[in-house]
Structure 1
């Protein structure tokens, strides 16, 4: 069976969005040439101003786990949690269908 695309959804609340955005830029720089993430989207909830959703796409579950184990990812993740007003939640999803309309 061929590897399927894998998506991780990270939901969190913060009042420090600018600092969170800087952390993402730091991670992108620190993991250049190492990261296995192939696509990312950050979304802001219009109805809940402190609620954010980050969707990150990987070629496979195994690649996502490799990315999570990078020291740079571990460090940034710890700093990200300090900026949150609660625990972030992570949802790990295998993509069954991917269609664009």
Structure 2
């Protein structure tokens, strides 16, 4: 079952995008993430919502346990003052 992990934290759009690109470059073929989408809350521009897509919960957990993921997550946690996670099983995606 497809799985999305939402991360909410305080940052700038430029820094959040740079962090995603750095993570991709550091992980290379070792990541199990399929796509990352960086969003800015229109009503609160300092609030970043990052959506990371995985093929399954198990793939997401394997990615989370990777040393590089742990290191990068600690950096984001420190620079943003905290990250809220939402772990979502995808029930269905409907093209409208």
Q: Which residue in the other structure is 2:17 paired with?
A: 21
**Equivalent residue for 1:94, pick from 85, 89, 93:** 89
- After the TM superposition, which of the residue ranges 61-70 and 17-26 deviates more from structure 2? 17-26
Looking at secondary structure, tell me which structure has more strand per residue.
2
Which stretches in structure 2 are left out of the alignment for 5+ residues?
Answer: none
- For residues 9-48 of structure 1, what are the structure 2 equivalents within 5 Å? 9-14=6-11, 16-48=12-44
Query: Aligned Cα RMSD in Å?
Result: 1.3
| Gap regions ≥5 residues in structure 1 | none
Aligned pairs, number: 96
TM-score (norm 1): 0.87
3-state SS in 2 of match to 1:49:
strand
Match of 1:56 in 2: 52
